C-alpha cells in the first residue's frame, strides 16, 4: 500500500470522437447462424440470456414465434426480440466519462438523464452499457453492441480489474485499509481490495482496485468500517483509463484497445483491415 505525495491530476484535452474503430460482422445474407448468437451479436444481450427470451416465446423470426433453442437464422431474416427489431450492425465500442446524477440504462421511465443522453448521436448504432455505475458514481463506463464481449467482461469468472477513487466521510486509517487487502466479511461473502493507495494531501481519499462487480461493493466495504462514501469515481476498467476524456465526454476505443479487451476474456481478436 503506497502513499504518493499528491492527488490526481485533471485532464483537459478534448476527446477524439472523429472516427470509430468498427468492424462489420462478416456474415453473408444467406449464411445460417444460431439464433442466440444472432441476438448476442446484435448487441441485445448475452447468448445465455437470448436462450431465456427464446424459451419464453419472446423471439419472432419472419413473424413467427420460435421456441427451439437450436433454431438457425440468416442475416436477411426479420428478427424481433421482446418487441425490438434486431440487425447485425458493425461492432462499435465507446468509453464514456459518466457524470453524476446520470442513470446507467438505455431509457428511464422517470425521464431522468441516462448515459444514452451523454452519447446521443454518437454512432448511429444501438449500443448498451457494459455493467453499470450507480447514479451518484462517476467515471469510466464502456458501451458497445458486441454482446459476447459485454457478457464476458461482466462475468465474475474473468476477474476484470476495476479501480476506484474513493472519498469517505471519515478518513480510514492504514490498519482499516489493510483489512481490505486481507479481506472483510460482508453479508454476501468475503470482499477484498487490491493495490490500495492513500493520498497524503487528502486523508479522506484512497484508490482501490476490485475484481468483481457485486452491487454497491465499494460503498458496503467502506460501511464495514462505520463510515460512508461521499464521492466515488471509477478511474480504470480492464486496463483502460479516463486519460484525455473530460467529465460528460466520450471517445471511441482504439483497435488495439478493443482486441486487448477481447483477448482478456478469451475471445478471438477482430480484423479491422476488412472493408466495413
Strands (E), the chain: 32-34, 59-61, 64-65, 72-74, 79-81, 84-86, 93-98, 128-129, 137-144, 162-168, 184-186, 189-191, 194-198, 205-210, 229-237, 240-241, 250-252
Does 249 share its domain with 129?
Answer: yes
Q: Is residue 206 part of a domain?
A: yes
CATH label of the domain that carries residue 49: 3.10.290.10
Question: Catalytic pick from 134, 146, 182, 268?
Answer: 134
Q: Is residue 120 part of a domain?
A: yes
What pLDDT, on the 0 to 100 scale, is given for residue 26?
Answer: 61
Query: Whole-model pTM above 0.75?
Result: yes
Domain encompassing residue 246: 93-156+239-264
Does 75 share its domain with 176?
Answer: no
What pLDDT, on the 0 to 100 scale, is given for residue 147?
Answer: 82
Does 181 share its domain with 224?
Answer: yes
What pLDDT, on the 0 to 100 scale, is given for residue 164?
Answer: 98
What pLDDT, on the 0 to 100 scale, is given for residue 40?
Answer: 83
Residue linked to cell 462487480: 213
Does 246 share its domain with 122?
Answer: yes
DSSP 154-200: HSGGG---EEEEEEESS---HHHHHHHHH-EEETTEEE--EEEEE-T
What pLDDT, on the 0 to 100 scale, is given for residue 5?
Answer: 40
What pLDDT, on the 0 to 100 scale, is given for residue 209?
Answer: 98
What pLDDT, on the 0 to 100 scale, is given for residue 240?
Answer: 98
For the chain, the maximum distance between any two Cα atoms, rounded to a whole number of angstroms, is 64
**Count of domains forming the chain:** 3
Does 195 share its domain with 231?
Answer: yes
What pLDDT, on the 0 to 100 scale, is given for residue 18?
Answer: 54
Query: Which residue in 243, 238, 244, 276 sits closest to 259, CA to CA?
Result: 238
| Strand 194-198 to 137-144 pairing | unpaired
Contact 164, 218 (CB under 8 A): yes
What pLDDT, on the 0 to 100 scale, is given for residue 108?
Answer: 77
Does 245 share its domain with 137?
Answer: yes
What pLDDT, on the 0 to 100 scale, is given for residue 275?
Answer: 53
Q: Is residue 79 part of a domain?
A: yes
d(CA 88, CA 63): 18
Q: What is the mean pLDDT of each run of 10 residues along the chain (276 residues)?
A: 48 47 69 89 82 95 94 93 88 94 84 84 78 94 90 92 98 96 96 95 96 94 98 98 95 94 93 66
What pLDDT, on the 0 to 100 scale, is given for residue 10?
Answer: 36
What pLDDT, on the 0 to 100 scale, is given for residue 274?
Answer: 62
What pLDDT, on the 0 to 100 scale, is given for residue 126?
Answer: 76
Q: Which residues pair with 114 in a beta bridge?
A: 103
* Grid coordinates belonging to 65: 414465434
Does 212 share its domain with 188?
Answer: yes
Does 106 share its domain with 222?
Answer: no
What pLDDT, on the 0 to 100 scale, is given for residue 96?
Answer: 95
> Is 134 labeled as catalytic in the residue annotation?
yes
What pLDDT, on the 0 to 100 scale, is given for residue 3?
Answer: 54
Amino acid at each position: 500500500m503506497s502513499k504518493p505525495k499528491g492527488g490526481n491530476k485533471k485532464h483537459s484535452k478534448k476527446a477524439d470522437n472523429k472516427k470509430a474503430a468498427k468492424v462489420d460482422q462478416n456474415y453473408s445474407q444467406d449464411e445460417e447462424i444460431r439464433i442466440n448468437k444472432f441476438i448476442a451479436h446484435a448487441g441485445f444481450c448475452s447468448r445465455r440470456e437470448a436462450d431465456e427470451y427464446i424459451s419464453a416465446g419472446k423471439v419472432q423470426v419472419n413473424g413467427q414465434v420460435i421456441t427451439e433453442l437450436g433454431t438457425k437464422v440468416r442475416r436477411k431474416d426479420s428478427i424481433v426480440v421482446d418487441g425490438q427489431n434486431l440487425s447485425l450492425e458493425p461492432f462499435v465500442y465507446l468509453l464514456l466519462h459518466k457524470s453524476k446524477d446520470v442513470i446507467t440504462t438505455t431509457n428511464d421511465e422517470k425521464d431522468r438523464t441516462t448515459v444514452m443522453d451523454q452519447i446521443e448521436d454518437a454512432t448511429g448504432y444501438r449500443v448498451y452499457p457494459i455493467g453499470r455505475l450507480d447514479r451518484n458514481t462517476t467515471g469510466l463506463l464502456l458501451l458497445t453492441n458486441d454482446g459476447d464481449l459485454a457478457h464476458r467482461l461482466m462475468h465474475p469468472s474473468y476477474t476484470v480489474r476495476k479501480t476506484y477513487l474513493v472519498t469517505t466521510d471519515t478518513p480510514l486509517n492504514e490498519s482499516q485499509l489493510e483489512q481490505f487487502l486481507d479481506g472483510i466479511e460482508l453479508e454476501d461473502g468475503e470482499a477484498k481490495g487490491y493495490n490500495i493507495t492513500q493520498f497524503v494531501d487528502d486523508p479522506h481519499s484512497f484508490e482501490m482496485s476490485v475484481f468483481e462487480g457485486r452491487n454497491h461493493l465499494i460503498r458496503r466495504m467502506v460501511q464495514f468500517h462505520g463510515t460512508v462514501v461521499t464521492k466515488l469515481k471509477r478511474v480504470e476498467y480492464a486496463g483502460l483509463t479516463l486519460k484525455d476524456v473530460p467529465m460528460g465526454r466520450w471517445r471511441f476505443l482504439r483497435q488495439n484497445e478493443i482486441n486487448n479487451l477481447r483477448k482478456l476474456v478469451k475471445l478471438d481478436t477482430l480484423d479491422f483491415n476488412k472493408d466495413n
